[in-house]
Amino acid sequence: MIRQFRLMIWFVVLSFNLLFSQTYTVEIEVTDMWYDSPENFYVEFQANIYRDGTLIPHSTDYYYQWYVYLSHKGYWEADGSGRDVWQVSNDQFIGGTIKVYVVVTDSAHFNFVNLASDTVGPLGMDGNAISVDFEPYKEQGQSLDGIVEPEHWRYTINRWKIGYNSFLTDGETERLRATPNLIQSDNLKFAYWDDDPTNILHYNEFSITPSVNRIKPIYKEVVGGAVLTSHLMPGVESPYDSIEFKDPWVVDTTDSRFYTTPYGYHSLGMDTPFLQEAVPFTLSENSKYQGVFLHQEIAPNKPYYSVRAPSPQILPFHGEDIAWYFQGWEGSNVSFQDSLASETPVVFLSDSAEVRAVYKGHLVTDNLSRLGFSSQRHLARGGTTWYLTYWEDGKIYVSTSTDGVNWNPEVCISGNLDGCSRPSIATGLVNGYAYVVWQRKIDTNQYEVYVSRTNNGGQSWSSPHKLSTVHITTAQRYGPQPVVAEMRVENPTTTSMPTVAAPPPTYTYHTLIAYVCDSGLKWHKSTNQGASWGSQQNIPVANTGYVWFPSMVSGTDYVALVYSYRSASYEVTSRLYKGKGWSSPANVSGALGLIYDRIPSVSIDRNGNLFCAWLAQESGNTNYKIAIRQGDSNNNWSSFNKTAFYPPDGSSAHGVNINF
């Protein structure tokens, strides 16, 4: 049980200094008059030794002999000894006056000084006494009396004293402190004062009025298993990364920001700075945070936890210092206010909670297949901006550059979608426009096709727009592999007067997306530069389940589409779009006498000539060859071709990319 006293305080501070040997000073402070009832009190004297103005810590090497002069006795007498603090009760000098002196010696009995106070008194009550119960409780209502000792700031001696039920003076302001230390027996930590969950500073000031009869520090249970960690894509383990954590209840005794003279270290509430922790970091009871509260509500004016991800973090990878950029938050048994914001409030839901900051290494992948097959374009230029797209950990990324050498931090354009892969990019015919399409696996042989666009050179991207859900055959194991391109269609003129000059032409831009599925080739069209998209349409093929690797390019006034197709044998086929529909197919590969023609890539040079390159083999020869053929805007393919040996290693499966 806590000792319960009735306390009425009249603050008096009298300092008396004596200089000796030009080095030491001894000071007597009349510190407090303490009451265990309104009628009974005592005066406390304290002797402090200073060396060159600096207080020497109290030590058993010093011995204090106190002497008291009571006015009703009229002489000095020894009264207390040993300690640096000495008390005189009121029954020794009721109605009279008192003064003291002290003889301080060291362990060798060297006499520092004989120091006397001035006369003190007469002593008595001042103001009206208010009985205030100062007792800690659990949030559920059980008293912690005897387990937790709240503290009371004694202004006269500038230190904390153990608090208790006391008489305080009406009209005074008192500073009280609830220990922030964990109560290990019950896993309890101070949470707030009285019935106000927003009042969380572990020391606080209270105005004493007749209506104040109880001051309660409230303690809540904490858990110590929550973990802060990170996920570095692509699957990198690094001992150097960190996360910043904000705990409104923490008291960091190693950080001067938590220190206020003369009160010492204390909590800062919602003004607490973020503290950086190397991850993984467990918010255990033994850490400076002493565990965390569960289900701490995120609401205006209420205290809550927050996490912040430094970005970028420069961390080593493959022998280089790589910039890692924050992508979002994920975790288990936690709730984030905004999982995409680098700084966000967080709620811990269980002792096994885990907070993970997701980072992406700049232009880093651990798998070359993240660029997909060469049939899909991953690099494109529009105006002075280069665009690069690839996927990692089920997310689609785009990076931009103005010189093709220095690349901006990549942006995840697939949002919260997972399972995304195989993106393809094309720039629009109007400067600043670019389009990225990709696939998302949702089940065995089942995919969704998405598109996102920018109209400001990659500064921002639209939210992912789902075009369709498609099925593929087992033979089409790489998925729909969507591709995109844009062309223009000249609008008809409206003038009918031959003597009037024709107005400059205007255009409608047709943006096309094509992909494969179990029913062949499908496509969508937008006539407003990707602001909206038409429904799925069909491109007829005979052997619907055996079409792969579409590749598409814009020729300004037409779009060329090539793809791998198997009927009697493997071949590369092409079609053109000129604003009204797709042309009949043309066999691009048949004239070369090769077999296993597949994974085509199509491009166009500055003169408007089509070029298609693909992988093939000769009969009886397992080495891959690269075949190239030139075409035109009427889907005719010339006899120009070139083949070259290509090593039969793992990289050959991705084909060859042709670009101008």
Q: Which letter does DSSP use for residue 585 in this model?
A: P
> Picking from 113-127, 294-308, 466-480, 624-638, which range would have the lowest pLDDT averaged per residue?
113-127
177-220, pLDDT tens digit by residue? 888 888 888 899 999 999 899 999 988 888 888 888 888 999 99
Last residue of a domain, one of 306, 339, 361: 361
489 with 620, same domain?
Answer: yes
Rounded average pLDDT over 418-444: 96
Q: Which of 209, 189, 118 lies closest to 147, judged by CA?
A: 189
Let me know if residue 123 belongs to a domain. Answer: no
Question: Is residue 87 over pLDDT 90?
Answer: no
176 with 63, same domain?
Answer: no
Q: What residue ranges in 170-235 does DSSP mark as E strands?
A: 173-177, 188-193, 203-207, 214-215, 217-221, 227-233
* Amino acid letter, 484: V
385-395, pLDDT tens digit by residue? 999 999 988 99
276 with 183, same domain?
Answer: no
158 with 110, same domain?
Answer: no
Please state, as a whole number, how many other Cβ atoms lie within 10 Å of the Cβ of residue 414: 24
215 with 264, same domain?
Answer: no
553-592, pLDDT tens digit by residue? 998 889 999 999 888 788 999 999 999 999 999 999 987 8
Question: Is residue 299 over pLDDT 70?
Answer: yes
Let me know if residue 311 belongs to a domain. Answer: yes
Let me know if residue 474 belongs to a domain. Answer: yes
Residue 88 token pair: 């005189």
454 with 565, same domain?
Answer: yes
Question: CA-CA distance, 555 to 487, in Å (whole number)?
Answer: 7
207 with 320, same domain?
Answer: no
User: How distant, in Å, are the alpha carbons of 229, 232, 292, 341 from that of 242?
Assistant: 8, 11, 19, 16
Residue 393 token pair: 């950990």
315 with 434, same domain?
Answer: no
Binned at pLDDT 50, 70 and 90, residue 46 comes out as confident
Q: Which helix (H) or strand (E) holds 626?
A: strand 621-631
Phi/psi region, residue 405 (left: phi>0; alpha: psi -120 to 50; beta: rest), is alpha
Let me know if residue 244 belongs to a domain. Answer: yes
Q: Which letter does DSSP use for residue 409 in this model?
A: P
472 with 588, same domain?
Answer: yes
Q: Which of 506, 381, 376, 474 lies closest to 431, judged by CA?
A: 381
447 neighbors 438 (Cβ within 8 angstroms): no
What pLDDT does residue 608 have? 83
Question: Is residue 33 over pLDDT 70?
Answer: no
What CATH number does residue 566 fall under?
A: 2.120.10.10
Let me know if residue 564 belongs to a domain. Answer: yes
Number of domains the chain contains: 4
Let me know if residue 647 belongs to a domain. Answer: yes
Burial class (CB in 10 A: 0-12, 13-18, 19+), 329: buried
Query: Could you list the residue range(s) of the whole structural domain that residue 277 is in?
Result: 227-361
Q: Which helix (H) or strand (E) holds 510?
A: strand 507-517
The stretches of 55-213 forming alpha helices (DSSP H) are none
78 neighbors 70 (Cβ within 8 angstroms): no
531-540, pLDDT tens digit by residue? 999 999 999 9
528 neighbors 519 (Cβ within 8 angstroms): no
**DSSP output for 544-569:** TTSEEEEEEEE-SS-EEEEEEEESSS
Residue 134 token pair: 């100062």
Q: Which helix (H) or strand (E) holds 275?
A: strand 275-278
What pLDDT does residue 266 have? 93
Q: Which letter does DSSP use for residue 348 in this model?
A: E
What pLDDT does residue 316 have? 81
Residue 56 token pair: 């020497």
Question: CA-CA distance, 432 to 604, in Å (whole number)?
Answer: 21
Tell which wins on pLDDT, 142 or 86: 142
217 with 261, same domain?
Answer: no
What CATH number does residue 87 fall under?
A: 2.60.40
Binned at pLDDT 50, 70 and 90, residue 49 comes out as confident
What pLDDT does residue 522 have? 97
Q: How far is CA 571 from the centre of its chain?
A: 51
Rounded average pLDDT over 360-375: 79
Please state, as a whole number, how many other Cβ atoms lie within 10 Å of the Cβ of residue 541: 19
User: How distant, in Å, are the alpha carbons of 32, 43, 52, 116 from that of 13?
Assistant: 8, 11, 22, 15
Tell which wins on pLDDT, 374 or 329: 329
Q: Would you report the helix, strand and coil content of the chain in percent, each value rounded to 5?
A: 5, 50, 45
What pLDDT does residue 113 have? 52
High-pLDDT (> 70) share of the chain, %: 82
74 with 213, same domain?
Answer: no
Question: Is residue 36 over pLDDT 90?
Answer: no
Report the mean per-residue pLDDT for the chain.
Answer: 83
460 with 534, same domain?
Answer: yes
304 neighbors 248 (Cβ within 8 angstroms): yes
Let me know if residue 438 belongs to a domain. Answer: yes
Rounded average pLDDT over 432-444: 97
Let me know if residue 660 belongs to a domain. Answer: no
> Picking from 160-164, 356-360, 616-620, which range would have the lowest pLDDT averaged per residue?
160-164
502 neighbors 532 (Cβ within 8 angstroms): no
| Residue reference for tokens 């899909």 | 376
What pLDDT does residue 123 have? 45
Question: CA-CA distance, 576 to 555, in Å (whole number)?
Answer: 10
Last residue of a domain, one of 157, 189, 221: 221
Last residue of a domain, one of 116, 149, 173: 116
Rounded average pLDDT over 152-181: 74
The set of residues, in sequence order, having a beta carbon less than 8 Å from that of 406 and lying 6+ positions away, is: none
- pTM of the prediction? 0.71
